[in-house]
């Protein structure tokens, strides 16, 4: 459980980092308040002819440095408070990796597993209609998040384009390749997590070669992280999904597990060396632990027993504030989500840049640009943590982002 709700936790964390910046209090107060949040009732026509209203939200948190940017999540547990907190996190994330963007987030309170493809399509189109006056290529550019992907982004693009009267691919990122999506977007977040893990391991203990890794979550982020880390030379010993975890101390056959999951298989049906629980995975004796599933899984209890040497947060908000304190006391370093999973928004930015220039890059060009930007983000955090003497890397990462956004506020001034 979170200590004080997601938005309260974000603000508490921002307060701690603010001390390490010279952003004046009046500007900082502005930075902690979302600029606007829209709540829409989305009428959904079910396949059986019945109708219901589902709720949708879009929060635009900060646009001082550029257009708002952030994903759209479909989940039955979505709340307006969670959407606001994630929009705030996006503002910090884009600033930390120095993209000329602000931060936003959207969410619809639905369980897509309970809906047919046509029902999901109708919800997506009507939600897009509901928020379309606040989105746009120079205003607010949505992207996929939990339970949304290229298919939904194509529907968002189509709906928006129908109102404009001409195709507007640059209104969303994470689109299918055929609609102006970019090579490298699907694996971008996992590639970024793998690069950050490699940099961090090399920073603290030398080489990735003899490094063992456990990854919670084998969806988009977890599976690509595993695959690319193995390519980099690490040994992935455990992975999990919602059905449980698989473990092999000598290293899993990541390619085989990837193919199993890609074909729609869950891990409880994989023929594994050893099956363990998600809870056991978090407490394994490994070099690197990568939570890549859901929020709040590293609780203070887990943190007390954690045996990994380092933690890399691939999921958004996987560590509770209480657990954060425990890890700090135990000197277990952690790379925070806003840096570790920023590969997704970096490549979204590259997709948007290509769309606005009506020019397409190769996979190699995209990967090179991603690597350059995320390694720069990593170097900035390590250097600033040292210069400022912050208690951990999360505070350093937040301090960099708050300083950048605060400086931008100072240059623009307060309107009117
Ligand atoms: P996904 O839906 O593709 O995969 C989620 C995985 O977590 C699945 O393997 C699922 O079975 C597992 N899972 C779900 N509930 C679980 C539980 N209770 N215990 C253990 N495992 C569980 O999602 P994703 O896109 O891979 O995103 C994972 C995390 O990364 C989320 O926190 C998301 O916000 C964050 N993230 C994703 C992206 C992206 O580009 N996809 C970018 C930034 C951050």
pLDDT in tens, 365-396: 999 999 999 999 999 999 999 999 999 999 99
What is the 8-class DSSP label of residue 112? G
Q: Are residues 335 and 304 in the same domain?
A: yes
Instruction: Judge residue 52's burial from the number of C-beta atoms within 10 Å of its C-beta, 0-12 exposed, 13-18 middle, 19 or more buried.
Output: exposed
Q: Is 291 in the pocket of ligand 1 (CB under 6 A)?
A: no
Q: Are residues 281 and 306 in the same domain?
A: yes
User: Could you tell me which residues come within 8 angstroms of residue 193 by beta carbon, excluding any fewer than 6 positions away?
Assistant: 221, 224, 225, 290, 292, 312, 314, 340, 341, 343
Q: Are residues 269 and 317 in the same domain?
A: yes
Q: Are residues 222 and 268 in the same domain?
A: yes
Residue 277 lies in a domain: yes
Answer with the one of 125, 160, 179 that is the final residue of a domain: 179
- The first and second tokens of residue 4, run together, are 């004080």
The answer to whether residue 147 scores a pLDDT higher than 50 is: yes
Rounded Cα distance between 181 and 354, Å, is 9
Residue 348 lies in a domain: no
Residue 301 lies in a domain: yes
HEC letters along 183-247: CCCCCHHHHHHHHHHHHHHHHHHCCCCCCEEEEECCCHHHHHHHHHHHHCCCEEEEEEECCEEEE
CATH number for the domain harbouring residue 166? 3.40.50.10860
Q: Are residues 313 and 250 in the same domain?
A: yes
**Reduced to 3 states, what is the DSSP secondary structure of residue 54?**
strand
Identify the pLDDT of residue 273. Answer: 87
What ligand 1 atom has the least distance to the C-alpha of 295?
Answer: 32
Instruction: Share the mean pLDDT of the chain.
Output: 96
Q: Are residues 225 and 164 in the same domain?
A: no
Residue 396 lies in a domain: no
Percentage, residues of the chain above pLDDT 90: 96
Residue from 32, 69, 93, 105 carrying the catalytic annotation: 105
Query: What residues are paired with 69 via a beta bridge?
Result: 141
Residue 84 lies in a domain: yes
pLDDT tier, 1 (very low <50, low <70, confident <90, very high otherwise): very low
Average pLDDT rounded to a whole number, residues 60-74: 98
Q: Are residues 137 and 248 in the same domain?
A: no
pLDDT tier, 3 (very low <50, low <70, confident <90, very high otherwise): low
Candidates 86, 265, 249; CA nearest to 257 is 265
Q: Is 148 in the pocket of ligand 1 (CB under 6 A)?
A: no
Q: Whose CA is nearest to atom 18 of ligand 1?
A: 242
**Reduced to 3 states, what is the DSSP secondary structure of residue 133?**
coil
Rounded Cα distance between 101 and 89, Å, is 12
Average pLDDT rounded to a whole number, residues 158-185: 97
Residue 26 lies in a domain: no
Q: Are residues 163 and 233 in the same domain?
A: no
Answer with the one of 127, 162, 179 that is the final residue of a domain: 179
Candidates 194, 188, 233; CA nearest to 215 is 194
Q: Which domain holds residue 242?
A: 188-340
Tell me which of 106, 241, 370 to substitute to probe ligand 1's pocket, judged by most ligand atoms within 8 Å of the beta carbon: 241
Q: Are residues 231 and 314 in the same domain?
A: yes
Identify the pLDDT of residue 2. Answer: 45
Candidates 160, 117, 103; CA nearest to 137 is 160
Interval 273-322: pLDDT, tens: 899 999 999 999 999 999 999 999 999 999 999 999 999 999 999 999 99
Identify the pLDDT of residue 205. Answer: 77
Q: Are 128 and 156 in contact (CB under 8 A)?
A: yes
Q: Are residues 212 and 329 in the same domain?
A: yes
Domains identified in the chain, total number: 2
CATH number for the domain harbouring residue 247? 3.40.50.720
Is 105 assigned a catalytic role?
yes
Q: Are 36 and 110 in contact (CB under 8 A)?
A: no
Rounded Cα distance between 169 and 158, Å, is 8
What ligand 1 atom has the least distance to the C-alpha of 293?
Answer: 7
Q: Is 341 in the pocket of ligand 1 (CB under 6 A)?
A: yes
- Residue 416: asked if its preceding bond is cis (omega within 30°), the reply is yes
Q: Is 293 in the pocket of ligand 1 (CB under 6 A)?
A: yes
Interval 180-229: pLDDT, tens: 999 999 999 999 999 999 999 999 878 899 899 999 999 999 999 999 99
**Dihedral angle computed from the Cα positions of residues 149, 281, 231 and 201, in that order, rounded to the nearest 10 degrees:** 110
Interval 238-264: pLDDT, tens: 999 999 999 999 999 999 999 999 999
Q: Are residues 193 and 335 in the same domain?
A: yes
Residue 160 lies in a domain: yes
Answer with the one of 278, 305, 340 that is the final residue of a domain: 340
Tokens 């040497």, residue located: 309
Q: Are residues 263 and 165 in the same domain?
A: no
Residue 81 lies in a domain: yes
């Amino acid at each position: 459980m979170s200590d004080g709700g997601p938005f309260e936790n974000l603000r508490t964390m921002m307060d701690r980092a603010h001390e390490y910046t010279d952003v004046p209090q009046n500007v900082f107060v502005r930075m902690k308040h979302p600029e606007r949040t829209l709540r829409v009732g989305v009428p959904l026509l079910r396949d059986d002819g019945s109708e219901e209203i589902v709720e949708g939200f879009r929060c635009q948190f900060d646009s001082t440095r550029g257009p708002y940017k952030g994903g759209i999540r479909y989940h039955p547990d979505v709340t307006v408070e969670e959407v606001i907190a994630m929009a705030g996190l996006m503002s910090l994330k884009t600033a930390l990796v120095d993209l000329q963007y602000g931060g936003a987030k959207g969410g619809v309170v639905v369980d897509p597993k309970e809906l047919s493809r046509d029902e999901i399509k109708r919800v997506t189109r009507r939600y897009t209609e509901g928020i379309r006056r606040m989105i746009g290529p120079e205003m607010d550019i949505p992207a996929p998040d939990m339970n949304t992907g290229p298919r939904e982004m194509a529907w968002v693009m189509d709906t928006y384009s129908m109102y404009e009267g001409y195709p507007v691919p640059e209104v969303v990122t994470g689109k299918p390749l055929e609609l102006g999506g970019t090579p490298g977007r699907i694996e971008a977040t996992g590639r970024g997590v793998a690069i950050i893990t490699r940099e961090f391991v090399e920073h603290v203990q030398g080489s990735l070669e003899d490094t063992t890794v456990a990854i919670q979550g084998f969806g988009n982020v977890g599976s690509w992280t595993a695959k690319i880390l193995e390519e980099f030379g690490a040994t992935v010993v455990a992975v999990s999904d919602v059905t449980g975890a698989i473990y092999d101390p000598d290293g899993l056959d990541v390619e085989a597990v990837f193919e199993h999951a890609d074909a729609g298989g869950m891990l409880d049906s994989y023929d594994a060396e050893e099956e363990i629980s998600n809870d056991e995975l978090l407490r394994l004796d490994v070099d690197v632990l990568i939570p890549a599933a859901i929020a709040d899984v590293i609780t203070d209890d887990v943190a007390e027993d954690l045996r990994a040497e380092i933690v890399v947060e691939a999921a958004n908000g996987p560590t509770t504030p209480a657990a954060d304190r425990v890890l700090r006391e135990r000197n277990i370093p952690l790379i925070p989500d806003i840096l570790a999973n920023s590969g997704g928004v970096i490549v979204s930015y590259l997709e948007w840049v290509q769309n606005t220039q009506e020019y397409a890059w190769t996979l190699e060009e995209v990967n090179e640009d991603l690597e350059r930007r995320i390694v720069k983000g990593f170097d900035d955090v390590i250097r600033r943590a040292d210069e400022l003497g912050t208690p951990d890397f999360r505070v350093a990462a937040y301090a960099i982002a708050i300083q950048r956004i605060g400086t931008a506020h100072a240059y623009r001034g307060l309107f009117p």
